[in-house]
């Protein structure tokens, strides 16, 4: 406590003394920009080019997934990237619209407004703004630890299930049919019911695009390398797969007039030009409706961003500052809200691409923003005849890599409670929705943790011959003394398990008529709360009236301190031994 207050205090005085250093901690760009070299600039520019080529189709596609006009996806890929470059600590994280956040945006807003309406767009902008406020507030209040309560299996299950749900939601565009619904049974039921209305030309385009994109993703790079291309060029061409699909399909639509007689759905008019200045709604009832989705999007986005940023930073022995990442992601979302965008976060695939392509500083992100801006200003007329089926193919190919079946299998074999939380998350996401899914997952994983700590593992221990070490009598060949019961409880003692300890001790006493002393071994007891303290007093009282001594051993420092603050020691007639060995040595001599 004192240490923390001191460090916070020193940060304040430090800010007064050295404004530049403080500025560097809030805006890391001031730390690295003064030494920015030509090599770094070259590397950043190449990475930015590759990411731009990857991000343009994704931005259009994820906006469609979120139920928004395609240009909104482009707007969300400009100013937010600049904001992250100013505030972020990761040198490789690429922010922008991502699949899962787009799905969560659609789930949250389609409850409030009709897709395509101006209210829908306003709600999306407001959601980005709220999400930004939540992230900045978490940073200022040091609430980043909240993200720790999203366990890996829950996050992993959530991402996998979202991937399946997103892919299913895109099938209608591949088939050229209309399907309503946002759960897996609804989507699949709707698709089967409307299979008769399938548009054959759309289907042909969609299936070819999907197959082509899978091929460029998995096979193209090795082939190009084998043909003697340089790795960086091979990478660039492989990443340009979606761009090629767009160009070819637009040419086909224009050449054969497919959007007319063949009924192929196209993206339509996209306004060209700079992103507009926009403001969120300040309607309080809208804020109330969007607050929970904003918190969930922020938490999920933060967890995903930090984990990819940490993984990439570790590879180059750099460090990221999680609390500063909250500020950076918050600033990115506020920037998105002010420039006609929707919620953004760090994308897994594009960050890896950015890293592999050689990005050295967050400026790579800023260069990407310039690239997207150029596309927004000059290229939008070209996207008019882009078939929606091609965007759907881009999404399907991208999200299927989110589905991690190996993680499900690994969790099943390692831990059934973790698997239960994961399975519940997956099922609820698929059958009910994304927000209930993540909420149920978090709730269940916490409930299972609490339930487990309420039924602690309690072992009778004995001395391992020739050592001073004591272990479970059921697992090791140990020495015990019928006059002394050594019992070890493998959990902090708190209200949920205080009664279990009482029951266990009373049951063991009944079995041992020769018993003179009970020693409770506490190496795993990290806290004894007020309820457990009452239980210990009850145990001490009851053993005393049965003529049995009650002692503690290996009580940790913080626990001893707390006991000394209470009046427990005034009544306690037993001893507190430093080690179980000391306890047994002393009590055996006495007996």
d(CA 304, CA 177): 33
Phi/psi at 157 (nearest 5 deg)? -65, -40
Of 241, 264, 214, the residue nearest 54 (C-alpha): 241
Pick the closer one to a second copy by CB: 244 or 464: 464
Among 38-46, 230-238, 337-345, 406-414, the segment contacting a second copy (CB under 8 A): 406-414
With CB under 8 A as the contact rule, the residue among 25, 111, 208, 453 that binds a second copy is 453
d(CA 430, CA 432): 6
d(CA 435, CA 183): 12
- Residue 472 interacts with a second copy (CB under 8 A): yes or no: yes
Among 40-48, 101-109, 213-221, 488-496, the segment contacting a second copy (CB under 8 A): 488-496
With CB under 8 A as the contact rule, the residue among 6, 222, 567, 590 that binds a second copy is 567
- Residue 449 interacts with a second copy (CB under 8 A): yes or no: yes
With CB under 8 A as the contact rule, the residue among 12, 114, 145, 316 that binds a second copy is 145
DSSP-derived secondary structure letter, 464: P
With CB under 8 A as the contact rule, the residue among 33, 229, 562, 576 that binds a second copy is 562
Site string for a second copy, 288-317 (x = CB under 8 A): --------------------------x---
- Residue 143 interacts with a second copy (CB under 8 A): yes or no: no
- Residue 498 interacts with a second copy (CB under 8 A): yes or no: yes
How many residues bind a second copy, per CB under 8 A? 68
CB of 418 to a second copy, least distance (A): 4
- Residue 480 interacts with a second copy (CB under 8 A): yes or no: no
Q: How many CB atoms lie within 10 A of CB 6?
A: 10
Pick the closer one to a second copy by CB: 456 or 549: 456
Of 437, 591, 457, the residue nearest 523 (C-alpha): 457
Q: Is residue 484 within 8 Å of residue 587, measured between CB atoms?
A: yes
- Residue 575 interacts with a second copy (CB under 8 A): yes or no: no
Residues with Cβ within 8 Å of 496's Cβ and at least 6 positions away in sequence, in order, are 450, 453, 454
Pick the closer one to a second copy by CB: 182 or 534: 534
Strands 345-346 and 95-96 turn out to be: antiparallel
d(CA 49, CA 89): 21
Edge-to-edge, what's the strand order for the sheet holding 470-472?
Answer: 470-472, 458-463, 484-489, 517-521, 549-553, 576-577
DSSP labels for 40-94? HHHHHHHHHHHHHHHHHHHHHHHHHHTTS-HHHHHHTTTHHHHHHHHH---SS--
With CB under 8 A as the contact rule, the residue among 119, 182, 490, 537 that binds a second copy is 490
CB of 197 to a second copy, least distance (A): 41
Of 56, 29, 52, 73, the residue nearest 363 (C-alpha): 29
Among 195-203, 207-215, 335-343, 517-525, the segment contacting a second copy (CB under 8 A): 517-525
Q: Which residues bind a second copy (CB under 8 A)?
A: 145, 148-154, 314, 410-411, 413-415, 417-418, 445-446, 449-457, 459, 464, 467-469, 471-472, 475, 490-492, 494-500, 523-527, 529-531, 533-534, 542, 554, 556-558, 562, 565-567, 578-579, 581-582
């Amino acid at each position: 406590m004192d240490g923390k207050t001191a460090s916070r205090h020193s940060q304040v005085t430090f800010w007064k003394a050295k404004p530049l250093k403080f500025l560097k901690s809030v805006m890391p760009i001031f730390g690295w920009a003064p030494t920015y070299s030509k090599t770094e600039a070259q590397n950043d520019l190449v990475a930015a080019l590759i990411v731009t080529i990857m991000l343009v189709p994704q931005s259009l596609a994820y906006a469609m997934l979120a139920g928004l006009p395609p240009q909104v996806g482009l707007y969300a890929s400009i100013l937010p990237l600049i904001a992250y470059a100013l505030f972020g600590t990761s040198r490789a994280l690429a922010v922008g619209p991502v699949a899962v956040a787009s799905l969560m945006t659609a789930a949250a807003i389609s409850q409030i407004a009709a897709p395509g309406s101006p209210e829908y767009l306003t709600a999306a902008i407001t959601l980005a703004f709220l999400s930004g406020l939540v992230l900045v507030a978490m940073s200022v209040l040091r609430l980043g630890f909240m993200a720790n309560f999203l366990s890996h299996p829950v996050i992993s299950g959530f991402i996998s299930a979202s991937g399946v749900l997103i892919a299913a939601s895109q099938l209608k565009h591949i088939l050229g049919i209309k399907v309503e619904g946002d759960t897996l049974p609804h989507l699949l039921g709707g698709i089967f019911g409307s299979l008769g209305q399938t548009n054959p030309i759309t289907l042909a385009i969609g299936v070819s695009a999907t197959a082509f994109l899978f091929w460029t993703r998995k096979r193209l790079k090795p082939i190009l390398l084998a043909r003697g291309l340089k790795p960086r060029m091979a990478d660039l061409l492989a990443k340009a797969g979606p761009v090629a699909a767009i160009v070819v399909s637009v040419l086909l639509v224009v050449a054969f007039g497919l959007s007319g007689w063949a009924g192929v759905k196209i993206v339509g008019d996209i306004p060209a030009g700079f992103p507009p200045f926009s403001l969120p709604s300040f309607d309080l009832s809208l804020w109330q409706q969007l607050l929970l989705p904003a918190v969930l999007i922020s938490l999920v986005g933060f967890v995903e961003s930090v984990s990819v940023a940490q993984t990439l930073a570790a590879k180059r022995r750099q460090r990221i500052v999680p609390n500063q990442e909250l500020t950076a992601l918050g600033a990115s979302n506020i920037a998105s809200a002010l420039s006609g965008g929707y919620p953004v976060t760090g994308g897994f695939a594009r960050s890896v691409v950015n890293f592999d392509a050689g990005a050295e500083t967050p400026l790579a992100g800023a260069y990407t923003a310039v690239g997207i801006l150029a596309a927004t200003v000059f290229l939008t007329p070209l996207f008019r005849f882009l078939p929606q089926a091609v965007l759907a193919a881009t999404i399907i190919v991208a999200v299927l890599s989110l589905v991690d079946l190996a993680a499900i299998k690994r969790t099943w074999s390692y831990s059934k409670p973790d698997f239960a939380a994961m399975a519940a998350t997956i099922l609820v996401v698929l059958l009910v929705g994304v927000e209930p899914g993540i909420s149920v997952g978090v709730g269940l994983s916490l409930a299972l943790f609490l339930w487990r700590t309420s039924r602690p593992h309690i072992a009778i221990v004995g001395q391992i011959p020739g050592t001073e070490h004591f272990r479970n009598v059921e697992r090791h060949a140990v020495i015990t003394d019928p006059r002394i019961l050594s019992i070890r409880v493998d959990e902090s003692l708190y209200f949920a398990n205080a009664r279990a300890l009482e029951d266990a001790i009373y049951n063991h006493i009944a079995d041992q008529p020769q018993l003179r002393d009970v020693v409770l071994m506490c190496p795993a007891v990290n806290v004894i709360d007020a309820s457990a303290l009452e239980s210990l007093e009850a145990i001490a009282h009851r053993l005393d009236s049965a003529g049995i001594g009650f002692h503690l051993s290996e009580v940790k420092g913080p626990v001893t301190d707390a006991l000394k603050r209470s009046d427990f020691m005034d009544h306690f007639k037993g001893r507190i031994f430093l080690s179980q060995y000391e306890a047994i040595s002393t009590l055996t001599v006495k007996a």
